Every structure is written in C-alpha cells, then in structure tokens.
Structure 1
C-alpha cells in the first residue's frame, strides 16, 4: 500500500474517511452507493506521491517523502482535499492532474457501471480513477486505461501496483481507443475533447454508455451501433485538461467584447459559446441564449451518425443544431 510510515498511513486513513463523509453529505453517490466503498478503500495519496499547489511564487511542490514531518502532513492532508491536484507540469503548463474527488464520484455514478462491464478510461492520469473502477468491478482485467505520454502511463502503472491493482495500462492516442481490448460496455474520458471520436463507437457493444467532457460539460452518450450514438449533457460543469494527440489543434480564444456583463459571467452562456465556437459568433450565441430562456446544460445533446456529429438544443432534429468536428 506504499512505503509511508505508520503515522502517515494513519493520518491518510483519517483524511480519507473525512473525504468520504464530505462527498457522502453532498449526495454524490446516492444513486449508486457502492462507490462509497471504493472511495473508502482506495488510497488517493498512493497515486499522488507529489503534486503542485499554486503559491505566491508560482507552483510549489508538495512531496510525500519530504524529510520535514510538517511538509509530509500538509502533503497527505492535501491529497484528501476535495480539489483537483496538479500532478505534472511542462514549461509551467499543466499537462496532467488528479480530478476533484467529488466530481469523479458524480462521473462514476453517471457512468452506470454494472457487474461484468468492460471499461475503457481515456486519460490515465495518476491511475486513481482506474483503481476505483477496478475495485468496483472486482476484476482488474475488465478495466483498460490509456494515455498519450509514456511517462504518465508508467507512473500510473507503478501507483496502481503499489495500491494492489493491475488493470491494463496502454500508451497511445486515446481518441483511437484500444481496439485490442474491445468491445467495451463503458467508455469514460477524464480529459476535454472537441468531439466524440468515431473509433470509440466502433469499439463499443450496442447499448454501451460513453461519458466524456465536452465544451465544459459532461456528455452521456448511448451507443446504438458502430456508427451511431446519441445523448444529453449532465447538469454538472466540468473542466479538464485537453486530450493531446495527433492532429488536434490548440483551441483559439473567443472574444467576449460587446457582450453584456451578466452573460460573460454566466456558466450556461459560456457553455453554449464553447459548444458552438466553430459555427456561432458570440453575439449570435448571446441572442439565442436570451431567446431560449438561458437554457441549462441538460437541454443540450449530441448525435453522432456515420461521418457526421452535431450538437443540438432540445431535439436532435430541431431548429438549433451545430456541427462538431
């Protein structure tokens, strides 16, 4: 379970129990309480032997093997705070993180995992989410996790082994899936994507569920067959590190000049902007948002049909539809 001293392990157990109580109080897993057992059992600190916190001089590292007992205590308490943790930086830019545990809990419940499901996780991160899935399913071989960076997958594999889990860990472009491990009953992404990769549908069984961050929201898609899937966004906002891979350009900034201040500050408007950034300019998006009564995320959905994918408001064949890549 890790090479930490008895005092650190005891502190971690108490902090983990407190985190579970906090998430429990929010009702995050009320619809599927089995996840409470997973979060109570899987030690998050083993998956974040170090992480970075933003301080007055930029990012500062917290480290589990620091010689300073006070620093070790800050590290372990931070590991069980209900916040995302920056775990890998490159030239000052965040390239990998451990997601906020309560958001992870909501996503895992929304994934609607059933006993015996084969699951693909896109975005291995620290390996913590794959461990939660493996614990829930009770079978390492049902879980596959993939990341583009060999250093990320190698460290995730080490963390998983230290915690006693051995799912399949693959290195590659997550948008291409892992065909040799297919078919999947569930796919969950822990990184932001511009669209739903067609390869995922082809690697799913009919009736499979895909949960992926898209445009600052969480899309829950049901797969009909290898070329068709459809679903709506959950009410939850979600911000993730973008998926990196071949041919994926950096998103361009959107100018909010000329928009009323109340729109610029509204989560639901910023979601609409992100969802339609390739087809609507901000003033057009604002006019639609006002006209339709400032719609919440769950009124939007996505359809993937053959070579085409589009986002929509209220109905897939309704008047409001925007092409996705």
Structure 2
C-alpha cells in the first residue's frame, strides 16, 4: 500500500523508526521486529497509526509498562504542522525530538534558509535522533536538554512546535518566540492524555488562541499526572445546599465533559466514582494545591460535601456556569497566556479573547 506518511507529509517515516516498534489497533500492543518480520514492520511504517518506540523512559524493553516515546499518527502530525503555518526561511524551536521524524518535516518546510532547533530531554533518544537525521541528510540542531526551558542560544524563534502533552505552559517559550506562533497539545489538570490542539498567536510576548480538536500525546516528563495516592481524612460529611442539582452535577462529570470542567477549574484534579443509576449515589473527588474535597450526589441520596468548602463551592460554581452557558464543548474556549515566572499565566476565555471566564 502507499505510505500514508509520504502522501500526507512528503517524507517516509521508515528512516526514523528503530528496528523494534510496538503497534496497537485498539487492543494489546504487538511487538514488531524489523529483522524477523520486515513486512509487518514496513506495513506499520506506512500506516496511519502511532508506533511506540520506548517504554518506561527506556528502562523496560517490553510493553508491560508505560509508553514514553512514539511516532505519532501521521494525520495528527499533519494537523499540527498545518496549524503551525511554517514558512520558508523561518526559525523553529521543536520541543521533544523523539525519533527525529517531525524535526525532519519541520526542516523540509523552513528550507535551506531556515533553521530547526530540536530539544530532547532523553539523552539516548537525542543521540539516536541525531544519527538518523544525519543519515538522512537533514540539517537539524538536536540539543539534549529540558525543552520546557526552550533553547535561548538560538532564539528568537518564529515558531514553537511542541510534541508532548503540556499542562502548564512555560514562560520561556513566550520570551523566546515573542512574535510568532506556538502549537502544542494542551490539556487541563483533569485529564491524563486528553489533549487538545492549541494554536497560540504571540504578539509582544502575549499568546492568544482557541482550543481545537482532540489529540493523543504523551505528557512532558516533568508534567506527568501524579497518582492520587491515599485519600486524606476530610472530616465529617455534611448535607449541602449547592446551586446545582444532582442531575446537573452528574451531567458535568461524565467523561465527555470533564475536559471543560478542567478549563473552568484550573489546577484542580477531578475523579468521579460510580454511575448515574447507582442506588448509593456517586462521589466527585477534588484536589487543588494540596486541599481536598468530595461532593456526594445521586438520585436516591442527598447531596453532601466533605473537606475544603471553598473547593467544593468552586466546583459547584463551575457546574452552574457550564449549564447556564448551554453546556458548551471545549472548542468554544480559548487561552490567553502571559509570561509570569517559570510558568505562564493561563487565562481561559469563552467565545472571544475579550470574554475571560469568571466564576466569582
């Protein structure tokens, strides 16, 4: 079959694949070795599918742990590159080199007069990507370092292209690309790998842009979700008078809408137990900056609150806001991002950058 990567992106990704990859078509990962099954390996390279190339940051050579490096779905790569709107002659910073394939695609677009600096935190991945790019004759400056700090040496940049899931956007990217475009998979604190394509136009160091389509990307290593751990004692459970009904809470914490709750409750993690028809009710568990709260609700139980009262109130206000605005999906929102210390200040807007979300 024709290579999807070549058709969509203009370059074969086989040259950037290691000899062993893992492919999943919705089930278990299948290990594919180039030397023992070249036809399957070649088919995987040509297909519109993600391919895992590393597990557990390189500590495990099997698929029993956590995937930590991959070649992304070619259609998703194309979507991000189109959003980045790269022009010949531009200077591009890539965060997350991985196997080096996207770095090569970026260089194809900036041409001989442009430059690509790609920063990779993993020294083994950085070295392998550099070798593959050199073998392919692609002039990319691969740097071993923390991509969340950017790379000041080659700044300023016209574009920043990020290949890992981001929860908190570093101020360094805005300072190093003060007038350009940032494209990244961004997610709220609620969801693990439920990222959205965010395209930010930067002017005088301030970035503004809409929240776009869903993307599946591995998180930046320093921003991976922390396990919940043991739930602390949040004290007595009390009957609550909240500005929302149990049905409204139930609708808001379904999987389809929790991303929006993450936008309305920045820095807050949410996990909901049970199902709508559970006779014993459900519980929304909340954590923010070391404070915990729980809200119990359901068709046959009273609505109750335990733990931090302000956190529970903010959760109820977010649910109320969502319903009062006709339960909007994520693509009605956007971000306004300004430098502020190590990490930028991320303000969520709805409908227009001039309409920041205010719950209080």
What TM-score do you get using the length of structure 1 for normalisation?
Answer: 0.76
Match of 2:16 in 1: 47
Q: Which structure has the bigger radius of gyration?
A: 2
Aligned to 1:238, what secondary structure does the other structure show? Answer: strand
1:103-142 paired onto structure 2 within 5 Å: 103-139=76-112, 142=115
Q: Which residue of 2 aligns with 1:241?
A: 218
CA RMSD for the aligned pairs?
A: 3.0
Residue among 181, 189, 199 paired with 1:209: 181
Separation of aligned partners in 1, 2:55 and 2:209: 34
Q: Which residue of 1 aligns with 2:207?
A: 229
Cα gap change, 1:15 to 1:211, in 2 (>3 Å) = same
- Indicate which of 55, 58, 65 corresponds to 1:89: 55
Report whether the alignment pairs 1:220 with 2:205: no
TM-score in terms of structure 2 length: 0.69
Q: What does residue 167 of structure 1 align with?
A: 140
Q: For residues 280 and 169 of structure 1, do their structure 2 counterparts lie closer, same or farther at Cα, with a shift above 3 Å needed?
A: closer
Aligned: 1:272 with 2:288: no
User: Which residue in the other structure is 2:280 paired with?
Assistant: none
Deviation at 1:270, TM superposition (A): 3.1
Is the Cα contact below 8 Å between 2:162 and 2:185 reproduced in 1? yes
Distance across 1 between alignment mates of 2:132 and 2:113: 14
The gaps in structure 2 that reach 5 residues or longer are 188-194, 232-245, 271-283, 285-314
Q: In the TM superposition, what is the alpha-carbon distance from 1:280 to its structure 2 partner?
A: 8.1
Contact 1:300/1:314 (8 A) holds in 2: yes
- Residue of structure 2 in register with 1:309 after alignment: 346
- Partners of 1:15 and 1:157 in 2: how far apart? 27
- Residue number in structure 2 paired with 1:318: 355
Match of 1:116, SS state, is: coil
- Give the count of matched residue pairs: 279
Superimposed CA distance per residue, residues 288-320 of structure 1 (whole angstroms, 9 cap, x where no aligned partner)? 333322323332111123423322222345351
CA–CA distance in structure 2, aligned partners of residues 83 and 289 of structure 1: 35
Q: After the TM superposition, which of the residue ranges 154-163 and 117-126 deviates more from structure 2?
A: 154-163
Report the counterpart of residue 121 of structure 2 in structure 1.
Answer: 148
Greater shift after overlay, 94-103 or 270-279?
270-279
Alignment of 1:173-192 (within 5 A): 173-192=146-165
Counterpart-to-counterpart distance in 1, 2:172 and 2:184: 14
| Residue 251 of structure 1: how far off its partner (Å) | 4.2
User: Given that residues 120 and 146 in structure 2 are in contact (C-alpha distance below 8 angstroms), is that contact kept between their aligned partners in structure 1?
Assistant: yes
Within 2, Cα distance between the matches of 1:140 and 1:163? Answer: 18
**Which has a greater percent of helix?**
1
- Retained in 2: the 8 A contact 1:141–1:167? no
Does structure 2 conserve the Cα–Cα contact (< 8 Å) formed by 1:310 and 1:321?
no
- Of residues 264, 289, 292, the one that matches 2:322 is 289
In structure 1, the gaps of 5 or more residues are 1-13, 22-35
